[in-house]
Amino acid sequence: MTPFVLFGRAHLIAMALSLVVAAVLIAIVRTRRAADTPIRFGFAALLIGNWAWWFALAYQHGWLTIGDALPMNLCDWATIASLAALIRPNQRPYDLAYFWVLGGTLQGMITPDTPYDFPEPRFLVFFLYHGGILAAVLFLTFGTGLRPWPQSLRRVVVWSLGYLVAAGAVDFVLGTNYGFLRAKPAQATLFDFMAPWPYYIAELIVLGLISAAIYYMPWFIADRLRGSTLPRPRFSGGEGSG
């Protein structure tokens, strides 16, 4: 098996495919609105099926441990939020999916936590999973009309702090490393440029706030260019909801 090559051919193709697939499906739904539901449910089936494939592979090869089996990685929570928004488009789960996927899952695709290159099963599972979530959020945003609002920032900050507490509690009780709250990843990531443990946890919080601001900024600018009157959210649970 070939060791994974960061920014190698397979890595770049996998990242590009997630963007290309999203762009094609967005173009389809903009010309044929009836395709919206089949595409959303197709994404949901892909994410659920890939999750099941990972557990089957992990069980078969003895990779499944307490540090892998629980849905306590941020990408797991992003997947659950994405599934909820795909199955029944709603502002609340979409907000979490939008910020968590762009701020976390996208970073995971850039610096993947996978040991081997294409076509090793863990490579396929990793990029189908992360690329599928990214493409799904892009489709929800530019294909269905969902978008973040000012209230979305408060919602994602509250839920992100809730994730931090939940993952930290699980790590403390079980000795796991969900959220990389007890140790940095073994692979080369942005963690390498951060302070030693536990000080980088504070840096993660600050970076999370900066990330949320960055990914909301295009919408903030667009709203200001359009004027002070904002369009109403297309789906329930919009700007004024908690």
**What is the residue extent of each domain of the chain?**
9-226
Closest of 132, 115, 123, 110 to residue 191, by C-alpha: 110
CA–CA separation, 172 vs 166, rounded Å?
A: 10
CA–CA separation, 140 vs 186, rounded Å?
A: 33
Q: At what angle do helices 199-226 and 150-174 cross, to 10 degrees?
A: 160
Alpha carbon 186 to chain centroid distance? 20
pLDDT of 188 reads 73
pLDDT along the chain (242 residues), means of 10: 90 96 96 96 96 91 88 93 96 96 90 88 92 96 94 96 96 95 84 91 94 95 77 53 40
pLDDT of 241 reads 40
pLDDT of 191 reads 87
Are 22 and 101 a contacting pair, CB within 8 Å?
A: no
> For residue 204, which amino acid is it?
L
